[in-house]
Structure 1
Amino acid sequence: MDLNYNINQLSLNISTAYEPELNHPARYINRLVEGLAIQKPNIMGRPREYDPRMLLKLVLLAYSYGVISCRKIERFARENLVARWLTQEQQPTYRTIARFVVSPDLEEMIQNGFKDFHDYLKAHGMIDEASFIDGTKILANANKYSFVWKKRTIKYSELNIEKARKLLQEIKQAEVKINVNGDSFNIDQLDTIVALLEQRIEELNQRVSETAKVSPNPAKQERRHAKKYLHALDHCRQKNLEYRTQAQIAGPRNSYSKTDHDATFMRVKEDPMRNGQTKPAYNLQIMTNSQFVLGYDLMQNPTDTRTLIPFLKLLAQNGVLGRVIVADAGYGSERNYKYIEDELPGHTALIPYSTMIKENSRKWCSDDRKVMNWEYHEDDDYYVNPDGVRFNFKRYAYRNDKYKFRRDFKVYQAEKYNENHQVIPQALTPRGNTKYIMINPQWEYFKAKARESLSNSNTYSRRKYDVETVFGNLKAYLGFNRFTVRGLKKAKRQMGIALMALNMKKMAGRPTIFGNSFRKRKNRSEF
Structure 2
Amino acid sequence: MPPQIPSKGYKTLDTNYNINQLSLNIATAYEPEDDHPAHYINQLVEKLAVKNTQVMGRPREYDPRMMLKLVLLAYSYGLVSCRKIARFARENVVAMWLTQEHQPTYRTIARFIVSTDLEAMIQASFKEFHDYLDDNGLIDEASFIDGTKILANANKYSFVWKKRTIKYSELNAQKANELLKELKVAEVKIDFTNSEMSLDQLDTVIALLEQRIAELNQRVNETVKVSPNPAKQERRHAKKYLRAAKHIRQKNHEYETQKQIAGSRNSYSKTDHDATFMRLKEDPMRNGQTKPAYNLQIMTNSQYVLGYGLMQNPTDTRTLIPFLNQLAQNEVLGREIVADAGYGSERNYKYIEDHFPDKTALIPYSTMIKENSRKWRSDDRKVMNWEYHEDDDFYINPAGVRFNFKRYAYRHDHYGFRRDFKVYQAEKFDENHRLIPQALTRAGNTKYIMVNPQWEYFKAKARHSLSNSNTYSRRKYDVETVFGNLKAYLGFKRFTVRGLLKAKRQIGIALMALNMKKLADRRRPFQNIQSKKEEPFGILSIPNGSLIIKGLCHSPLYIY
| 2:368 aligned to which of 356, 365, 389 | 356
Deviation of the 1:323 alpha carbon: 0.5
User: Could you tell me how far apart the structure 2 residues matched to 1:2 and 1:20 are?
Assistant: 24
Give the residue type in structure 2 aligned to 1:417: F
* Counterpart-to-counterpart distance in 2, 1:140 and 1:477: 19
Correspondence for 1:36: 48
**1:403-442 residue pairs with structure 2 within 5 A?**
403-442=415-454
Partner residue of 2:107 out of 82, 95, 102? 95
Report the Cα offset of residue 164 of structure 1.
1.1
Cα distance change on mapping 1:320 and 1:154 into 2, 3 Å: same
Alignment of 1:155-174 (within 5 A): 155-174=167-186
Residue 254 of structure 1 aligns with which residue?
Answer: 266
Correspondences of 1:273-288 after superposition (within 5 Å): 273-288=285-300
Q: Distance in 2 between matches of 1:45 and 1:89?
A: 26
Amino acid of the structure 2 residue aligned with 1:490? K
* Structure 1 unpaired stretches of 5+: 521-527
Query: By how many angstroms is 1:419 displaced?
Result: 1.6
Structure 1 pair 260–343 and aligned structure 2 pair: CA distance change class (3 A): same
Deviations 1:410-441 (A, max 9, x none): 00001111122222111111111111000000
Distance 1:270 1:37, change over 3 A: same
Q: Following TM superposition, by how much is the alpha carbon of 1:2 offset from its aligned partner in structure 2, in angstroms?
A: 4.8
Residue from 129, 134, 151 that aligns with 1:139:
151
C-alpha distance 447-425 of structure 1, shift in aligned 2 (>3 A): same
Partner of 1:227: 239
Distance of 2:326 and 2:420 partners within structure 1: 29
AA aligned to 1:369 is: R
Residue 177 of structure 2 contacts residue 196 of structure 2 at CA under 8 Å; is this kept in 1? no
Q: CA RMSD in A?
A: 1.6
Opposite residue 371 of structure 1, the aligned amino acid is V
Q: What is the CA deviation profile of residues 72-96 of structure 1, one whole-angstrom value per residue up to 9, with x for unaligned ones?
A: 0000001101000000010000000
C-alpha distance in 2 between matches for 1:48 and 1:125 = 39
Which whole-Å deviations, capped at 9, do the CAs of 1:19-53 have from their partners, x for residues lacking one?
Answer: 00111000000000000011225599987320000
Deviations 1:425-484 (A, max 9, x none): 111111111110000000000000000000000000000000000000000000000000
Provide the residue aligned with 2:74 in structure 1: 62
CA distance in 2, matches of 1:300, 1:506: 28
2:68 is paired with a residue of what secondary structure?
A: helix
The partner residue of 1:18 within 26, 30, 41 is 30
* TM-score for both structures, normalised by structure 2: 0.90
Q: Deviations over 1:273-298 (max 9, x none)?
A: 00000000000000000000000000
Larger CA Rg, structure 1 vs 2: 2
8 Å CA contact 1:44–1:51 kept in 2: the answer is no
The CA distance in 1 between the partners of 2:498 and 2:196, in whole Å, is 44
Equivalence map 1:206-355=2 (5 Å): 206-355=218-367
2:500 is aligned with what amino acid? L
Segments of 5+ residues of structure 2 without an aligned counterpart are 1-12, 530-560
Equivalenced residue count is 517
* Pair 1:501 & 2:513 matched: yes
The DSSP-based 3-state class of the residue aligned with 1:283 is strand
Q: What is the aligned partner in structure 2 of residue 525 from structure 1?
A: none
The corresponding residue for 1:183 is 195
Q: Is the 8 A contact 2:119 2:505 kept in 1?
A: yes
After TM superposition, which residue ranges in structure 1, 4 or more long, deviate above 6 angstroms? Answer: 43-47
Is this contact kept in 2: 1:44–1:50, CA < 8 A? no
Contact 2:362 2:462 in 1 (8 A): yes
Q: TM-score, normalised by structure 1?
A: 0.96
Alpha-carbon distance in structure 2 between the residues aligned to 1:465 and 1:291: 8
Residue 488 of structure 1 pairs with residue 474 of structure 2: no
Q: How far apart are the structure 1 equivalents of 2:215 and 2:19?
A: 87
- How far apart, CA to CA, are the structure 2 residues paired with 1:228 and 1:265? 39
SS at match of 1:295: strand
CA displacement at 1:519 relative to structure 2:
5.5
